[in-house]
């Protein structure tokens, strides 16, 4: 039976300021969703709140995976349940090699009941799987011996995120502007990697301003966020409209949300 990520009436605040104001979204395994919206609309806030970042305070609402209350779990427990977040700006961790990081992460997510100090995934099995995925992504074997994201180019950081995705095999993947700052070749590699990994076992939410990732990973559902709410849902044609025409038409169709967006910009001094 396919798993379901269910978000109901989600409200999130950052340092006391409301950002999300009632988000409803349902994602099933095997589905590809796109979440689009102007800067400040709350797209990244949704991703970080779902992942369990402590800066983002859930003030109201409910999030479940197959009935399990996600909001009662800490970040690592959410990952073990099958939730993955690819960051817009991946963190650098000096002194931790890519291979060591991935072996521990894979061991924990594939064996959610594993206790600290218990055995890791067998080295031979891990290396074979890691090399296979690296070859598919056009990554040199030396990459696995480098420290996590230290000295990585923007494209290398995003390839690293897709490599994690391949190894961790989550049930739900949240990609927060993974195409941000990449040149055309890097976008193609990341897009093709994501397309190769997508399938019936993984639901995907692609958060983006652009259409480049969506050219390779066509969404069944496109959601538009304004002023902390999803105001409209369509298919891939809606993503194309937003890419070519911007958000003017959406604002005209949803004047209340547009007015609230304008008020937020005035309050923020932008």
- Taking only the tens of pLDDT, the chain with its 270 residues reads 678 999 999 999 999 999 999 999 999 999 999 999 998 899 999 999 999 999 999 999 999 999 999 999 999 899 999 999 987 778 899 999 999 999 999 998 887 776 665 678 999 999 999 999 998 888 888 999 999 999 988 878 888 888 999 999 999 999 988 777 677 777 787 788 888 888 899 999 999 877 778 888 999 999 999 999 999 999 999 999 998 889 999 999 999 999 999 988 877 765
| Domain spans of the chain, in order of start | 4-90+170-268
Q: Judge contact between 171 and 83, C-beta under 8 A.
A: yes
What contacts 24+ positions apart, CB below 8 Å, involve 123-128?
126/99, 126/102, 127/99
Q: How many CA atoms lie within 13 A of 150 on its CB side?
A: 11
CA distance 149 to 230: 33
Q: Mutual orientation of helices 98-110 and 123-136 as an angle, nearest 10°?
A: 110
CA distance 53 to 87: 12
CA distance 201 to 207: 20
* Beta strands, E only, the chain: 4-14, 17-28, 32-36, 56-65, 68-69, 83-86, 93-97, 147-148, 172-176, 203-207, 221-226, 229-234
Q: Structurally, what CATH architecture does the domain formed by 4-90+170-268 represent?
A: 3-Layer(aba) Sandwich (3.40)
The model's pTM is 0.90
CA distance 173 to 114: 22
Report which DSSP code applies to 90.
Answer: P
CA distance 124 to 200: 28
Q: Quote the pLDDT of residue 120.
A: 86
Q: Judge contact between 3 and 65, C-beta under 8 A.
A: yes
Q: Quote the pLDDT of residue 188.
A: 80
């Amino acid at each position: 039976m396919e798993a379901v990520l269910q978000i109901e009436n989600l409200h999130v605040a950052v340092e006391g300021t409301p950002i999300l104001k009632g988000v409803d979204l349902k994602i099933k395994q095997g589905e590809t969703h796109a979440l689009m919206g102007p800067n400040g609309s709350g797209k990244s806030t949704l991703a970080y709140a779902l992942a369990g970042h402590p800066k983002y305070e859930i003030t109201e609402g409910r999030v479940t995976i197959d009935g399990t209350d996600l909001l009662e779990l800490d970040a690592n427990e959410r990952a073990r349940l099958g939730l993955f977040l690819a960051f817009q700006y991946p963190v650098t961790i000096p002194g931790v090699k890519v291979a060591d990081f991935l072996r521990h992460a894979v061991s924990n997510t594939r064996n959610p009941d594993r206790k600290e100090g218990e055995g890791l995934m067998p080295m031979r099995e891990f290396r074979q799987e890691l090399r296979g995925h690296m070859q598919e992504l056009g990554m040199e074997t030396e990459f696995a011996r480098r420290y996590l994201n230290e000295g990585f180019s923007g494209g290398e950081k995003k390839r690293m995120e897709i490599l994690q995705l391949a190894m961790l095999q989550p049930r739900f993947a949240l990609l927060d502007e993974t195409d941000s700052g990449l040149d055309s070749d890097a976008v193609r590699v990341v897009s093709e990697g994501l397309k190769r990994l997508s399938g019936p076992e993984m639901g995907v939410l692609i958060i983006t301003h652009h259409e480049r990732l969506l050219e390779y990973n066509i969404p069944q559902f496109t959601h538009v966020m304004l002023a902390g709410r999803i105001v409209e849902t369509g298919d891939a044609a809606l993503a194309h409209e937003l890419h070519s025409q911007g958000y003017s038409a959406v604002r005209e169709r949803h004047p209340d949300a547009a007015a609230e967006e304008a008020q937020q910009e005035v309050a923020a001094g932008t």
